[in-house]
């Protein structure tokens, strides 16, 4: 091939390469705010994926947000339930203490003492041999619990007392329905007797003489305070039956106020109960 044609061919190739390069540069160079073709292609490919990813991420974030919100609401509800529970205890105790305290400031001071010494506990176990004998709560010596502290239900009715064993974070509660439980009580008409459990969910009022006439069905039974353990004035239950088969004593049955089936939360009065309930009923 002649040298002239070779040089002309090389020039054509060079011009072609320069033109292709200019085209490529023009495709890559942005025109003002407009995107180039490459960017458009990338956007078209990845924007749906980005949309899905963002949507998925937002859903996960909302799920976590709602989960923590629900946990927070549940925690607040639990605190409110315990607050209501304590307020019920304060109200019941206040009804007894008002007859002793006179001044408004004295009442407020003693209410503060009451609040500081009411411990809310949850039932975590029952006596395997007999459900009506005792139970175990989730508070112990680290919470200030000791033997013979009064235990009440949510309405201030007598449930029993703390007994040994008491561990660091657990305590045993003897129920008033236990056969070994003995409580000095009064009826509404001031008839005194000893309340003992029958191990079947009820109690008997012992040592009521057969000659006693001032006792009747439906009477309320409260603690007298004479046993040195339970202070006076705590509501226990109602008389549900009276029999006279024994020549010396009446057979008196009492239905406790506390509902064993609903006994999942109790109040332990840590302060010396005589300071709160020592009243003339």
pLDDT in tens, 56-103: 666 676 776 666 666 666 666 776 776 667 666 666 665 555 555 555
Please give the pLDDT value at position 31: 46
Rounded to whole angstroms, the Cα distance separating 249 from 146 reads 36
Per-residue pLDDT, averaged over 44-59, amounts to: 57
Report pLDDT digits (tens) over 205-244: 999 999 998 899 999 999 998 888 888 889 999 999 999 8
Q: Which residues pair with 204 in a beta bridge?
A: 196, 253
Per-residue pLDDT, averaged over 152-170, amounts to: 92
Q: Which residues of 224-250 are buried (b: 16+ CB within 10 A; e: fewer)?
A: bbeeebbbbbbbbbbbeebeeeeeebb
Q: At the fourth CATH level, which superfamily is domain 120-281?
A: Rod shape-determining protein MreC, domain 1 (2.40.10.340)
pTM of the model as a whole: 0.63
Q: Which residues of 29-68 are buried (b: 16+ CB within 10 A; e: fewer)?
A: eeeeeeeeeeeeeeeeeeeeeeeeeeeeeeeeeeeeeeee
Residue 236: which of 280, 265, 194, 279 has the closest Cα? 194
- For residue 181, pLDDT beyond 50: yes
Q: Which residues pair with 123 in a beta bridge?
A: 137
Location of structure tokens 């937002």: 58
Report pLDDT digits (tens) over 104-154: 555 556 556 666 788 889 999 988 888 899 999 999 999 999 999 999 988
- For residue 184, pLDDT beyond 50: yes
Confidence of residue 280 (pLDDT cuts 50, 70, 90): very low
Please give the pLDDT value at position 278: 45
Q: Residues of the chain with pLDDT > 70: what percent? A: 56
Query: Contact 42/32 with Cβ under 8 angstroms?
Result: no
Q: Which residues contact 47 (CB under 8 A, 6 or more apart)?
A: none
- For residue 169, pLDDT beyond 70: yes
Confidence of residue 155 (pLDDT cuts 50, 70, 90): confident
Please give the pLDDT value at position 74: 64
Per-residue pLDDT, averaged over 172-192, amounts to: 94
Confidence of residue 260 (pLDDT cuts 50, 70, 90): confident
Domain segments of the chain as ranges:
38-116, 120-281
């Amino acid at each position: 091939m002649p040298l002239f044609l070779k040089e002309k061919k090389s020039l054509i190739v060079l011009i072609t390469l320069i033109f292709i390069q200019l085209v490529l540069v023009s495709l890559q160079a942005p025109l003002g705010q407009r995107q180039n073709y490459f960017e458009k292609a990338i956007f078209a490919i990845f924007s749906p994926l980005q949309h899905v990813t963002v949507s998925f991420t937002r859903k996960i974030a909302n799920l976590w947000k709602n989960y923590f919100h629900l946990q927070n609401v549940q925690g607040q509800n639990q605190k409110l339930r315990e607050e209501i529970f304590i307020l019920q205890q304060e109200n019941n105790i206040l009804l007894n203490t008002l007859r002793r305290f006179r001044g408004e400031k004295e009442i407020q001071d003693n209410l503060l003492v009451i609040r500081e010494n009411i411990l809310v506990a949850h039932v975590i176990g029952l006596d395997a041999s007999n459900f009506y004998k005792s139970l175990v709560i989730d508070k112990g010596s680290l919470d200030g619990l000791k033997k013979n502290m009064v235990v009440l239900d949510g309405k201030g009715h007598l449930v029993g007392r703390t007994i040994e064993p008491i561990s660091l974070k657990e305590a045993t509660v003897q129920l008033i329905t236990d056969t070994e439980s003995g409580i000095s009580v009064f009826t509404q008409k001031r008839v005194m007797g000893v309340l003992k459990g029958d191990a079947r969910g009820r109690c008997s009022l012992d040592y009521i003489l057969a000659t006693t006439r001032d006792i009747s069905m439906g009477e309320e039974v409260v603690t007298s305070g004479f046993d040195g353990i339970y202070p006076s004035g705590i509501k226990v239950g109602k008389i549900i039956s009276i029999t006279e088969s024994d020549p010396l004593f009446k057979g008196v049955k009492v239905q406790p106020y506390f509902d064993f089936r609903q006994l999942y939360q109790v109040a332990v009065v840590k302060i010396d109960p005589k300071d709160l309930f020592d009243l003339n009923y």
